[in-house]
Amino acid sequence: MTHIEQPANILRQGYAPATVLSSAANYIMNRDEAFTRTFRTYVRVRETGPLHLKFWHGNSVDSTWDQGKESVGGETGGEWRIEAAYVADGGTDPDGGVVENSQVQVTFSGLAVKNVAPGESFWSDEVDLELPEGHFLAFTWTITALKPGKSVPYNVEQNLASVYETPGGHAADSGAAAFKLTDNLQLLPSFIGYRKKVSRNLVFFGDSITQGVRTARDRYEFWAARIAKGLGPDYGVWNLGSGWARSYDASAEKGWLDKAAQGDEIVIVLGVNDLDIGCRTADELLGDLNSIISGIKRRQPEARIILGTVPPFNFTGEREVYYREVNRIIRENPPEGADRIFDIAAVLAMPSPEENRIRPEYMSGKDDPHPNGLAGSAVAQAFLDWY
């Protein structure tokens, strides 16, 4: 029988999040045949030097993608196998290769191979790596899907990190020749930790706006990353932003909420996708936010909740009415259990009466209201001044 390790106390085992890159999963591989592929991802870590790394992974989807046809929040992954996994010095240029002779194998209960059961969660063993200042951490693993159909959860949004993949078992390769850059497939462990004592663990819990989607690859310009930099490494910061996520993914009280509840403080910035693709009313969204807060408090009574207003996303018509109503209530009569309110909408929005629209200089594209790197800087400064 497979031991299913619950995600409790991920942040209370002496390991802090090593990166502010989100590795939340919003999609799942669904192939017509079994496969073996290798994935290499370059991660900017919060501290370099001698690192004592440990990885936790949960084989499930965190949040719903699109209308839920392909993946739904809380859906378990299939059966798959880790054939080999390595960490390495990725150098200063994430070009598909790693620094020669820098790779260190990651093991699981002393074994290089790990069979993963549907819904299983598990830790790696600790691994030591010396990483020079300014260098990327490269994480590489070869994964086999044992049969056709759904297998490995991953993140399908625009990659914020350089990710390479290749067919077959190339995890031990240090060269770049076999690898091809991919733009919308990030497959990483759910938690990348390093041995570190921190004064407080801060969790950012949101959608693509929290994840940082549409900001520059490998630059870490999104506001969660900038806040982490401003707070410094004495604060653990876990980014659980997930593209296209909505509040009802979290209020369903599955694995994504379990992870968020690990924090000493949880910053919740959700609602854009509820009002948009989720077609929720103001009352429904507020009900889901209430459920999220009460669910976290049940799991972690001492946790402090920072609830964000819903960021502007150029809503019109009925969606705009609901957007304005939700933010009015959050500001004037916030849900029970919300300890503080961070008005992110006020930072990003146009002046009255156009508060439903994001400032044009903060848009990531002419027709894309996702906040850009400039917006990330503005939000981070406002948060740090307020916090």
The whole-number average pLDDT for the span 288-312 is 97
Looking at 154, 171, 191, the residue that finishes a domain is 191
The whole-number average pLDDT for the span 62-74 is 95
User: Does residue 207 share a domain with residue 181?
Assistant: no
Please, are residues 274 and 251 in contact by the beta-carbon 8 Å criterion?
A: no
Running DSSP on this structure, what letter comes out for residue 385?
H
User: Does residue 173 share a domain with residue 227?
Assistant: no
User: Does residue 274 share a domain with residue 158?
Assistant: no
Please, are residues 104 and 87 in contact by the beta-carbon 8 Å criterion?
A: yes
Give the whole-angstrom CA distance, residue 192 versus residue 23: 9
Q: In which residue are the tokens 């196998």 written?
A: 81
Tokens representing residue 300 in the block: 């972690």
Say how many domains are in the chain.
2
Q: What are phi and psi of 10, to 5 degrees?
A: -55, -40
User: Does residue 155 share a domain with residue 40?
Assistant: yes
**Full domain range(s) for residue 144:** 15-191
| pLDDT number for residue 159 | 97
| pLDDT number for residue 173 | 98
The verdict on residue 1 lying in a domain is no
User: Does residue 220 share a domain with residue 177?
Assistant: no
| pLDDT number for residue 9 | 84
Q: List all residues 6 or more positions away from 240 whose beta carbon is below 8 Å from its beta carbon.
A: 22, 24, 62, 203, 204, 205, 206, 210, 256, 259, 260
The verdict on residue 186 lying in a domain is yes
- Radius of gyration of the chain from its Cα atoms, rounded to whole angstroms: 20
Confidence grade of residue 366 (pLDDT, cut at 50, 70, 90): very high
The whole-number average pLDDT for the span 355-366 is 97
Looking at 141, 174, 191, the residue that finishes a domain is 191
The verdict on residue 125 lying in a domain is yes
pLDDT of 5 > 90? The answer is no
Q: List all residues 6 or more positions away from 386 whose beta carbon is below 8 Å from its beta carbon.
A: 342
Tokens representing residue 351 in the block: 């002046």
Running DSSP on this structure, what letter comes out for residue 262?
T
The whole-number average pLDDT for the span 97-111 is 98
| pLDDT number for residue 1 | 33
pLDDT of 105 > 80? The answer is yes
Give the whole-angstrom CA distance, residue 95 versus residue 163: 9
The whole-number average pLDDT for the span 198-220 is 98
192: β partners? 55
pLDDT of 4 > 70? The answer is no
pLDDT of 257 > 60? The answer is yes
Looking at 149, 176, 191, the residue that finishes a domain is 191
User: Does residue 184 share a domain with residue 237?
Assistant: no
Give the whole-angstrom CA distance, residue 79 versus residue 118: 6
List the one residue out of 108, 121, 110 whose CA is nearest residue 2: 121
The verdict on residue 6 lying in a domain is no
User: Does residue 131 share a domain with residue 230?
Assistant: no
User: Does residue 239 share a domain with residue 104?
Assistant: no
pLDDT tens digit string along 164-194? 999 999 999 999 999 999 999 999 999 999 9
CATH, residue 276: 3.40.50.1110
User: Does residue 222 share a domain with residue 177?
Assistant: no
pTM: 0.96
| pLDDT number for residue 338 | 98
User: Does residue 142 share a domain with residue 207?
Assistant: no
| pLDDT number for residue 8 | 57
Tokens representing residue 100 in the block: 């020669």
| pLDDT number for residue 7 | 54
pLDDT tens digit string along 114-133? 999 999 999 999 999 999 99
